[in-house]
């Protein structure tokens, strides 16, 4: 996929509301939340447990529908897409990295990365070439023939990042990508996500409790009670706080 110009707005959410029902109890998770996400930036969504971070990530990536409001990603109104169109959108334009790695035990690192590329219609040769390039970019070129049981936690997460990166996504979503890792491996993952945003022009949106991400993110959105409490940029002299 062609990269968006740096600072181009690639996601726009307007007055988004989302609630979940449990028996007679209705919990408002997102409350008239609005934001934009730009290409070429690592944006961190932080905040206490239960504030709506992961729900927001799922909505912005098209994994969940809003109750009210609008979400536009890469000029597509996600709420107007059918389920098959949403699946196609995610296949073509998005990459995902999760806390639990989501690797297949029987596949080598190279095979893990190649798998989604076959769904994109790449030939076996091109899929292998792109998988190798992505694994080399995350520093695992020498480990590509190993299976998950032979890899450390940090290496597993780097395979997951390579798998997402090989699709050449314009949007990369990461949900607690460092929470299962020790300090050194967590730092490696943070550095990788930052490099991907800057080198590939990818909009990287990360939900995390990890305080180290705050220092490396280009932008930090702090959530509380389903709303954006503050919006800070590294290059900004002032902090913009929502009313």
- pLDDT number for residue 238: 39
Look at residue 53 and tell me whether its pLDDT is greater than 70.
yes
- Mean of per-residue pLDDT scores for the chain: 90
Look at residue 181 and tell me whether its pLDDT is greater than 90.
no
What are the sequence ranges of the domains in the chain?
9-236
pLDDT tens sequence across 107-154: 999 999 999 998 898 999 999 999 999 999 999 999 999 999 999 999
The topology (CATH level 3) of 9-236 is Rossmann fold (3.40.50)
pLDDT tens sequence across 8-25: 899 999 999 999 988 888
Cite the beta strand spans of the chain per DSSP E.
9-22, 25-38, 42-46, 68-73, 76-77, 94-98, 171-175, 203-207, 219-224, 227-233, 240-241
- pLDDT number for residue 162: 96
- pLDDT number for residue 5: 61
Look at residue 40 and tell me whether its pLDDT is greater than 60.
yes
């Amino acid at each position: 996929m062609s990269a968006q110009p740096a600072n181009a707005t690639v996601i726009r959410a307007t007055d988004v509301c989302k609630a979940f029902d449990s028996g007679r109890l209705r919990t408002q998770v997102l409350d008239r939340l609005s934001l934009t996400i730009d290409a070429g930036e690592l944006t961190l969504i932080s905040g206490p447990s239960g504030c709506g971070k992961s729900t927001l990530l799922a909505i912005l990536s098209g994994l969940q529908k809003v109750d009210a409001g609008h979400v536009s990603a890469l000029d597509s109104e996600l709420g107007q897409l059918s389920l098959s169109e949403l699946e196609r959108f995610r296949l073509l334009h998005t990459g995902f990295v999760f806390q639990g790695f989501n690797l297949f035990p029987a596949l080598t690192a190279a095979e893990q990365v190649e798998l989604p590329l076959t769904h994109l219609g790449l030939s076996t040769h091109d899929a292998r070439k792109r998988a190798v390039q992505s694994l080399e970019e995350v520093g695992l070129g020498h480990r590509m023939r190993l299976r998950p049981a032979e890899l450390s936690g940090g290496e597993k997460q780097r395979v997951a990042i390579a798998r997402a990166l090989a699709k050449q996504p314009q949007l990369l979503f990461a949900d607690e990508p460092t929470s299962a890792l020790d300090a050194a491996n967590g730092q490696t993952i943070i550095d990788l996500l930052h490099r991907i945003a800057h080198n590939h022009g990818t909009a990287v949106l990360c939900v995390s409790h990890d305080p180290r991400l705050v220092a490396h993110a280009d932008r930090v959105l702090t959530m509380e009670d389903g709303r954006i409490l503050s919006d800070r940029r590294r290059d900004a002299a002032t902090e913009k706080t929502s009313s």
